[in-house]
Structure 1
């Protein structure tokens, strides 16, 4: 994902791919094949990188060639702030920053989707008929094989803590994770882990001791790991890591054995969506077996649809990992994490713990 005000990197060129326009501002455009009438447009704002989003949009556009489809990729917080500034700009919002999406729906910004697909969707993966989880994405670590060869296996959070405490000097500046102050996803993971693990704050302190680099996106972590600037990455989106590291044998993806957070991208239709009929059609596609099959087969995002099994599905991952999975719950507890005083307290403690050992 692109940081605000910075040019896109891998998508800087203007490309035409199978009738799809990929622009320099991290967006995709699918022109209408024919005149679809006055509501023949669909505008989607998402925090989902283009390689993962394009198969979904291509599948939808094949089914709806008369629709002109615009997709703009933003960071999680930029997406939220842009919506608040212009609530009638987008037809669909899609983000992995679960608390921010829940806040919008809870505040009355989301339209209800009253369709057969919505009623069939699992209750744990939706809030009323206004907010829908469409993916199932573990949060992982990435470790360079040289670290494993030299210091041993890293299988979970306890192993990572021991590694950082014993070898902080060797790993100085070679570890990377989210900055929870500027990343909505990173903040979400921080508050969830602070609830899950009594040793979370020890881990934050150990990250500080190793002079860990703090960044805004998983994409930035992966680029540094691939280039060799970092040897360890903590709390990356597993979906992005699997897609980018398939041809990087020196980097191992670790799904922690003690507990693995699972995030879900939440989609909603704003009340002021300019093209509500098109938005409902797209949302139905996302939660129908057709769109979910695209998710399972052509992306690494993890499909939720209960009728789907095998690789790339939540059903398969649950069977494989069992109780170690800790999906972030879609419910009122998300809203509590965004209380201004609680947010300030968590970020203050995070910075204090991160700086504690470095200041000794």
Structure 2
């Protein structure tokens, strides 16, 4: 009986989403999740950068396991969510109960500004050190930054398996790929900035990549869904540093996915319980659910936990680079470093930014 009622509710949740996709605030979409025919005692407000459709199975499972807790889920862009969370932290706006963002460097900055509430449980302490910080920030996923390409238009032999191969491709085939290689715009996307900044710290190829992107008039754009659909349509032939979980979650026929063999970045979306959250106990319940074996299993089915087995099993341990949730990410928030980085980015993508 519970299963059938729950299945019926999934359809209802997305009916709400369709009605709420044009909010007046900075959020991009809103959906509500509640167990049907149950008297709700708590309305948990979750603000997140994760697409509603991708996280919906976990949200539905949580309210089914906790029927007296309903969730209002707001989907935001990472930069807007960071600004909103800072304003709420300073008392200038109502705070969410839970904030989840792929802009992990921004989340570390919020914690460093004393915007978070501490919490400790068996699930949080079981996390590896790279996925937790100060008992106030926790990584709930593991997602790879990948290269994607249109398999109908890019010969398999040309598909770049490493950054060195991508560099060679842009140098040899600049006319064929002119205006048809894409990546995130670091000014519009907090996630895009983080991936590009980590590349600049990690790889000797970063300067060459910028030169190559400039050579082929590469396009800097936003956001994941837009880039993926554009590659599938053939508007772009190749896209660099795309979040692999979104690629795997969108039905497609002609997309190839590459985990770069020189190194592949892995990101953990960070969850914070704001200091001013109204429902901290239920927020902690939600966190524990996501970190539990059941929650991680659901996230894995939604492709938000990617590094265990599957296509990544062929990637050697030495090629896996996990972005740590710790104080070192504050380097990416330094205003002078950011300004210098963005200036170089603008010089590279001046013609191709959208």
| Structure 1 length-normalised TM | 0.86
- Measure how far apart 1:153 and its partner are: 3.6
Question: Which residue of the partner structure matches residue 322 of structure 2?
Answer: 327
- Measure how far apart 1:48 and its partner are: 0.3
- Measure how far apart 1:122 and its partner are: 2.2
Contact 1:178 1:186 in 2 (8 A): yes
- Are 2:302 and 1:299 equivalent residues in the alignment? yes
Contact 2:43 2:71 in 1 (8 A): yes
Contact 2:245 2:306 in 1 (8 A): no
Deviation per CA, 1:295-350: give whole Å up to 9, x if none: 12x2011168xxxx655xxxx94674321011112211101111101111111122
For residues 160-171 of structure 1, what are the structure 2 equivalents within 5 Å? 160-171=166-177
Question: Which residue of the partner structure matches residue 54 of structure 1?
Answer: 56
Taking structure 1 as reference, are residues 154 and 319 closer, same or farther at Cα in structure 2, changes over 3 Å only?
closer
Question: Which residue of the partner structure matches residue 199 of structure 1?
Answer: 205
Taking structure 1 as reference, are residues 27 and 197 closer, same or farther at Cα in structure 2, changes over 3 Å only?
same
Deviation per CA, 1:267-320: give whole Å up to 9, x if none: 010000121121111111111112111112x2011168xxxx655xxxx94674
* 1: CA distance, partners of 2:263 / 2:127: 26
Deviation per CA, 1:96-122: give whole Å up to 9, x if none: 111000001111111111222222222
Please state whether the residue corresponding to 2:285 is helix, strand or coil.
helix
Question: Which residue of the partner structure matches residue 41 of structure 1?
Answer: 43
- Candidates 70, 78, 81, aligned match of 2:83: 81
After TM superposition, the runs of 4+ consecutive aligned structure 1 residues lying more than 3 A away are 15-19, 316-321, 353-356
* 1: CA distance, partners of 2:313 / 2:128: 15
Question: Which residue of the partner structure matches residue 32 of structure 2?
Answer: 29
- Candidates 253, 256, 259, aligned match of 2:260: 256
Deviates more, 1:224-233 or 1:145-154: 145-154
- Candidates 92, 97, 100, aligned match of 2:106: 100
* 1: CA distance, partners of 2:11 / 2:193: 38
Deviation per CA, 1:37-79: give whole Å up to 9, x if none: 3xx1100000001221101101101101111210011111111
* 2: CA distance, partners of 1:141 / 1:205: 18
Question: Which residue of the partner structure matches residue 252 of structure 2?
Answer: 247
* 1: CA distance, partners of 2:327 / 2:201: 15
Contact 2:144 2:265 in 1 (8 A): yes
- Measure how far apart 1:89 and its partner are: 2.7
Provide structure 2 residue ranges, at least 5 long, that are not aligned to the other structure.
1-7, 23-28
Please state whether the residue corresponding to 1:337 is helix, strand or coil.
helix
* 2: CA distance, partners of 1:257 / 1:122: 24
Query: RMSD value over aligned CA atoms?
Result: 2.2
Contact 1:113 1:130 in 2 (8 A): yes
- Measure how far apart 1:136 and its partner are: 0.8
* 2: CA distance, partners of 1:153 / 1:323: 22
* 2: CA distance, partners of 1:214 / 1:137: 21
For residues 90-239 of structure 1, what are the structure 2 equivalents within 5 Å? 90-149=96-155, 152-239=158-245
* 2: CA distance, partners of 1:319 / 1:113: 36
Provide structure 1 residue ranges, at least 5 long, that are not aligned to the other structure.
1-14
| Structure 2 length-normalised TM | 0.87
- Measure how far apart 1:354 and its partner are: 4.4
- Measure how far apart 1:154 and its partner are: 1.5
Contact 2:306 2:312 in 1 (8 A): no
* 2: CA distance, partners of 1:270 / 1:195: 30
* 1: CA distance, partners of 2:161 / 2:146: 11
